[in-house]
Structure 1
Amino acid sequence: MQSYVAFLRAINLGPNRKFPKAEIVAATEAAGCTDVATHINTGNVRLTSPLRSRAELETALETAYLERAGFEVPTIAFTPAELLAVAEDALDLSGARSDLERHYLYLLKDEPDPEKVAAVEGRSDEVNTVVVRGRVAHVLLGPGYAAGNVDLYKVEKALGVVATNRNLNVVTTLARKWCS
């Protein structure tokens, strides 16, 4: 059995995409998972699965979520070791920026094409920075970030992969809570 932390994309954003925690747990268990827990109602799920492949797990969860919620729920999974490494890297990046106002992490289903990574990272300026490492894009926003070259909402589209974002606090909290 393998443990995972799964991140659900685009749930509980409006009246038509409601997916309460209890329903997420029930659907996750219906997909054959055990030891299911959620953290806040934004689609953060810890689970244990007999599936050894991340892709198989994501497909099984997406199928169960579609059946239960009635809409597609893209799902991005990390092992606890992977998420712990992501959190540690994020803290290092944040710690290197004394002027940092916001730090968002786009958690990516797949590694993006290197040319797309270069283009997105190339939008960085003296205030805002995008750093892509594997299946994570760190968006580091400094003072006056709204006026910079980095558009938080265009990062996922520019990378061309399915993603969901979380802030630094959520990622580090989950790493402490579920991965230590």
Structure 2
Amino acid sequence: MATHLGFLRAINLGATRVFPKDDIRRVTEVAGFENVQTHINSGNIRFDTRMRARARIEHAIERAYAADRGFDVPTITFRADEFAALAADAAALSDENPGLARHYVYLLKDELDAETSELVEARTTDAGRMIVRGRAVHALLQPGYQDGVVDPLGAARLLGVATNRNLTVVRTLAEKWC
């Protein structure tokens, strides 16, 4: 049995997409996953499964969530060892870029092709830059970027199905669950 981490996209946004963490845990367990845990109410889950194929895992979870909630809940999963490596890489990248105002990690359902990766990384401005690393894309934002702007570099629309977490959450989840 392997441990996986899942990241839910677009939940708890307004009154129509409510999915409290206790319900996330319950539905994930009903779907057949074991040792389910949640972290804060923003769609972070940890679970064990005998399933191996990431697409199969994500499909099973998404199907269960849609049946329970009545709306689609895109879910991005990583094996615990993959996420630990992603978190270590994010920490190193942050250390290599001192003075950042924010470091967001976009977690992708699918790795970007080479052309899209180049387009994303070309979004460099005075506000910051994007760095593509497999199924993680790092938004390294400089002091003075427009705080509160959801996508200050205009790159999120290029990422496909993705959700982001700040570096603090990424580190916390890796320490807690990996």
**Does residue 53 in structure 1 map to residue 50 in structure 2?**
no
Pairing 1:32–2:26 present: no
Given the two structures, how large is their TM-score scaled by the length of structure 2? 0.94
The residue that corresponds to 2:68 in the other structure is 68
Identity of aligned residues (%): 52
Deviations 1:50-90 (A, max 9, x none): 21111100000000000111110000000111111111111
Aligned partner of residue 169 in structure 1, secondary structure? helix
What is the CA-CA distance between 1:49 and the residue it aligns to? 1.1
1:6 aligns with 2:3: no
Task: Report the secondary structure of 1:145's partner residue.
Answer: coil
Deviation at 1:42, TM superposition (A): 0.3
Check 1:35–1:153 CA distance in 2 against 1; reply closer, same or farther (3 A cut).
farther
CA distance in 2, matches of 1:68, 1:8: 14
Q: Which amino acid aligns with 1:37?
A: Q
Find the counterpart in structure 2 of residue 87 from structure 1: 87
**Pairing of 1:1-180 with structure 2 (within 5 A):** 1-146=1-146, 151-152=151-152, 154-159=154-159, 161-179=160-178
Unaligned 5+ runs, structure 2: none
CA shift for structure 1 position 155: 2.3
Which secondary structure state, in structure 1, belongs to the residue aligned with residue 5 of structure 2? strand
- Larger proportion of helix: 1
Indicate conservation of the 8 Å contact 1:23/1:68, yes or no: no
Aligned residues of 2:99 and 2:142 also touching (Cα < 8 A): yes
How far did 1:126 drift? 4.8
Q: Which runs of 4+ in 1 moved over 4 A?
A: none
* Cα distance between partner residues in 2 of 1:151 and 1:141: 10
Mapped to 1, the partners of 2:73 and 2:24 lie a distance apart of 10
Q: Secondary structure at the residue paired with 1:42?
A: coil
Q: Note if contact 2:105-2:138 (Cα within 8 Å) is conserved in structure 1.
A: yes
- Paired AA for residue 92 in structure 1: A
Q: Does structure 2 retain, via aligned residues, the 8 Å contact 1:156–1:162? A: no
Larger displacement relative to structure 2 (119-128 or 108-117): 119-128
- Find the residue that maps to 2:115 and give its secondary structure: helix
CA RMSD of aligned residues (A): 1.6
Report if the CA contact (8 A) 2:125-2:153 is conserved: no
Q: Please give the per-residue CA displacement for 1:15-61, whole angstroms capped at 9, x wherever unaligned.
A: 11000111101110111100000000000000011211111000000
User: Partner letter of residue 3 of structure 1?
Assistant: T
C-alpha separation between the residues in 1 aligned to 2:152 and 2:34?
35
Could you say if the C-alpha distance between residues 153 and 69 of structure 1 is closer, same or farther in structure 2, counting changes exceeding 3 Å? farther
- Normalised to the residue count of structure 1, the TM-score between the two structures is 0.93
Mark the runs of 5 or more structure 1 residues left unpaired by the alignment.
Answer: none
Measured in 2, the distance between the counterparts of 1:154 and 1:70 equals: 30
Offset of residue 125 of structure 1: 3.1
**1:131/1:138 contact within 8 Å kept:** yes
